[in-house]
Structure 1
Amino acid sequence: MKTCISCGMPLREKKDYPLEDESKDYCVHCANADGTLQTYDERLDGMTSFIIKTQGLDHEVAQSVAKDMMSKLPAWKDVH
């Protein structure tokens, strides 16, 4: 099973891929409407919001956690 290079989500079903294109190596949540990968800053905002929503952390802490997580993922390992 593939995992999203941008957020680490398991890619289990066709609907998990942008535009259901299983040749992509990132998930639907990390893609723009046209199927392209979002920028680092767009993903950082999205992951920060997700962490706040699911873990109840304040923005600064959630953003720090998101940056740490993203630094370990293939899409972002050389960014920031």
Structure 2
Amino acid sequence: MVIYEASLGGLRVKSLSLATECESCGRPMSSNADHGAQNPDNSYCIHCTDLKGKLLPFEKIYEDLVSQAMQTRWMNKEQAEKFALEEMGKWPAWKDKVSEMPKPA
């Protein structure tokens, strides 16, 4: 179960979803097809796993997130890299790895 929180003109709105959240990227997984290897016990989504359901390397997920941020959020590369690390630091799969990385100057 995932609780989404958003701000709409200063008003905080929470919505409840029965979808589980990918522990690598935060995407909602509302059906078996959304889980890695279509296994509902897999904590990672199909975007973060290989065909067997194994979690892809940190570098691959990071590069994909940077690319997405640049394309969909109109960020330059430096902004997108910072955003990607901040986001990945929130997710269980990468929290320890991100906290061990040196902070950018």
State TM-score, norm by structure 2: 0.71
Q: Which residue of 2 aligns with 1:55?
A: 73
What is the percent sequence identity of the aligned residues? Answer: 30
Deviation readout 1:53-80 (Å, 9 max, x if unpaired): 1112111110110100001111111003
Q: Does 1:31 align with 2:39?
A: no
Give the Cα separation in 1 of the matches to 2:82 and 2:20: 26
Deviation readout 1:39-61 (Å, 9 max, x if unpaired): 11111001111111111211111
- Per-residue deviation, 1:12: 0.6
Decide which structure has greater strand share: 2
Give the Cα separation in 2 of the matches to 1:53 and 1:15: 26
- Per-residue deviation, 1:21: 1.1
Give the Cα separation in 2 of the matches to 1:29 and 1:68: 19
**How many residues of Structure 1 are paired with residues of Structure 2 in the alignment?**
80
Give the Cα separation in 2 of the matches to 1:35 and 1:62: 27
**DSSP 3-state at the match of 1:29:** coil
Decide which structure has greater helix share: 1
RMSD: 1.1
Q: Which residue of 1 aligns with 2:88?
A: 70
Give the letter for the 1:75 counterpart. Answer: A
Provide structure 2 residue ranges, at least 5 long, that are not aligned to the other structure: 1-18
